[in-house]
Structure 1
Amino acid sequence: MGSETEHPGVDAAEQAAAMLAAAGMPRMPARVMMALVGSPDAGYTAAELGDRLGVSAAAVSGAVRYLVSMRFIQRLSRAGDRRDRYDLVDDAWAGMIAANAPLYTALASQMEQIADENTDAPTSTARAREIADFLRFLAARMPELADEWRAGRAAPGSLDR
């Protein structure tokens, strides 16, 4: 495994990956994704990711497949280079947040159905309806928040970090 001077931000990337894993993302994809947050502008090859993370090519391969399928990372091909490089997809986080709106709407419908089928338990029924209301709120607001964030980033005078 490389030293901190070879790979700045390794500790922060590992901590961020641990947070994502605690939230439910598989551990190796979380580690690969956070390594790519701090990648060189050209991205990393699978071998470079393996070296950075101190893991096998097979572990990186599975994580890359998962992250590509989730549209978090992209494969970059270069003319004359047989090895693909990987980097984050621009706007992946905001896009993923907004794309979950239909899931929240579907979950809200299921919560309403649970409430409709549980009329003998008024506290549980009220709780299920409250969850449904919150999920509908998320379904409406998450895409709006992502759009608001994008508009703020594109506005004249906005900080370009």
Structure 2
Amino acid sequence: MTQQDRQRIAAGLANGLSYAEIARRLDRPTSTISREIGRNGGPGGYFPQAAHQATVRRARRGTPAPPHVARPPDGTMEEQEEIIELAVRTGLPRMTARVHVDLLMSEDGRRTAAELARRLNVSPASVSVSVNFLVEHGYVRRERDPQRRRDIYVVDDDAWYHSVVISARQTLETARAAMAATETVGLDSPVGRRLARAGAFLERVTLDMKESADRWRRLLA
């Protein structure tokens, strides 16, 4: 990989591109981009000049890359990056996706904020923003360790149910707001009819989703 390639990787990260998109633009496999970024500081600490110099030094010594980013024993880096990419495509912020996947791949589904920051090589503030988002949307729950006075973040099977229910509730609020707006606009106008149709569609789909989640929740038991 050339220094110009690494500059393009850094530019892609700065612009919020996914690993897959960066790989496409460089005509490289996504796994190559994932390894390049992972071994040279991660997405939050990748610098093209430093990455190029480190690669040259490693080539001269014939030694493997230093583990700048922790590689968990319970899931390979490449597997995790693939799941992260899928989560990012659904709209999840990349840092939040990294935190969520690290929790998912842990053996007991439990991490402290300090553990997450150390494993992902990011600041505690970044972890805090991410876990707050995950807790708010039902992906994880927060437990208190009374002995050490710290929070522990937990992801378990039931989290999938809660995340679906919370998402459905938020969508239902949007649907009913759209339907309520038709009273102001009036059903005799194009805008009113459009809002009424959208609200009715979202309400029906959301209620079906909630009923389905309740019906199949037993699969998570």
Q: TM-score, normalised by structure 1?
A: 0.69
The verdict on how the C-alpha distance between 1:55 and 1:134 changes in structure 2, with shifts beyond 3 A counting, is: same
Q: CA deviation at 1:106?
A: 3.0
The range that moved more, 126-135 or 143-152, is 126-135
Q: Which amino acid aligns with 2:178?
A: M
Could you say which residue in structure 2 is the equivalent of 1:150? 217
Q: Which has the higher contact order (CA 8 A, sep 6+)?
A: 1
Which of residues 61, 70, 77 in structure 2 aligns to 1:2?
A: 70
The range that moved more, 16-25 or 136-145, is 16-25
Q: CA deviation at 1:94?
A: 1.3
Q: Which runs of 5+ in 1 are unaligned?
A: 155-161
Q: CA deviation at 1:34?
A: 1.4
Tell me the distance in 2 between the aligned counterparts of 1:24 and 1:86: 22
* Contact 1:29/1:67, CA 8 A, preserved across alignment: yes
The range that moved more, 58-67 or 138-147, is 58-67
Q: CA deviation at 1:55?
A: 1.4
Which of residues 104, 125, 133 in structure 2 aligns to 1:58?
A: 125
Which of residues 185, 192, 195 in structure 2 aligns to 1:128?
A: 195
Q: CA RMSD in A?
A: 3.1
The verdict on how the C-alpha distance between 1:138 and 1:57 changes in structure 2, with shifts beyond 3 A counting, is: same
Could you say which residue in structure 2 is the equivalent of 1:26? 93
Report which of the two has the higher share of strand.
Answer: 1
TM alignment of 1:12-161, pairs within 5 A: 12-41=79-108, 43-77=110-144, 81=148, 84-115=151-182, 117=185, 119-121=188-190, 125-153=192-220
Q: Which amino acid aligns with 1:40?
A: E
> Secondary structure in 1 aligned to 2:70?
coil
Higher gyration radius (CA) = 2
Q: TM-score, normalised by structure 2?
A: 0.54
Identity of aligned residues (%): 31
Q: Which amino acid aligns with 1:132?
A: G
Q: Which runs of 5+ in 2 are unaligned?
A: 1-68
